[in-house]
Structure 1
Amino acid sequence: MRHEECEFVGGPLDGRVIEVIVGMTGQPPRSYTVPAGEHRYVYHREHGERGKHRTPWVFTFDPDGKPPAGPKWPWSKRG
């Protein structure tokens, strides 16, 4: 399996660079969940800015832990 280094911003993993498994398209998952005892920390993938971040992909901390908004298809219902 292929890995890519991704930077984490915010939350308990702030400033760390961790190798994350990438999919067939070469992109890391849209959300990354870190289990820590009874708590779960959720991070969402974003594009990293050149010069500001060390990696092309950045995971930002989501304190609410909501899943990312996906595409809204006309034939499927949400919620």
Structure 2
Amino acid sequence: MKSEDTPFVGGPLDGRVLPVLLGITGHPPKTYRVPVPDAAGGPPTVLVYRRAPRPHGGRFALGHKWQYEFDPEGRTGGPRWPWSRPARKPGGAPGGNGETTDG
């Protein structure tokens, strides 16, 4: 399998460059999850990094290069498809617009 040295920005891995396996398209995965074991023996904490384009280093850069940026909220939701309903807000009506209908 092919890998690419990818820099990490922000969070505990800030400044590190790690080899990341590439997919069949030649790109690293969109999210990179790092499980960190708990010192007390509890469930591990998962750090989430998101793929972002790396700023070009010069005029002669070939192809896209990527970097991973720390996501402190750790969103792990799946893809949002165009035909999916919008995410429901707490206390909102099932219709999604906040209004109720009386039948």
- TM-score after normalising by structure 1: 0.82
Distance verdict in 2 for CA 1:78–1:30, change over 3 Å: farther
Aligned length: 75
Aligned position for 1:73: 82
Give runs of aligned pairs for residues 1-79 of structure 1, distance below 5 A. 1-37=1-37, 38-51=44-57, 56-67=65-76, 70-74=79-83, 76-77=84-85
Q: Which letter does structure 2 place at the counterpart of 1:10? A: G
User: What is the aligned-residue RMSD (CA, Å)?
Assistant: 2.1
Distance verdict in 2 for CA 1:18–1:24, change over 3 Å: same
Query: Which runs of no fewer than 5 residues in structure 1 stay unpaired?
Result: none
Q: Point out the structure with the larger strand share.
A: 1
Alpha-carbon shift at residue 67 of structure 1 (Å): 2.7
Larger-Rg structure? 2
Percent sequence identity over aligned pairs: 41
CA deviation string 1:7-41 (max 9, x = no partner): 10001100111000000000000000001112110
- TM-score after normalising by structure 2: 0.64
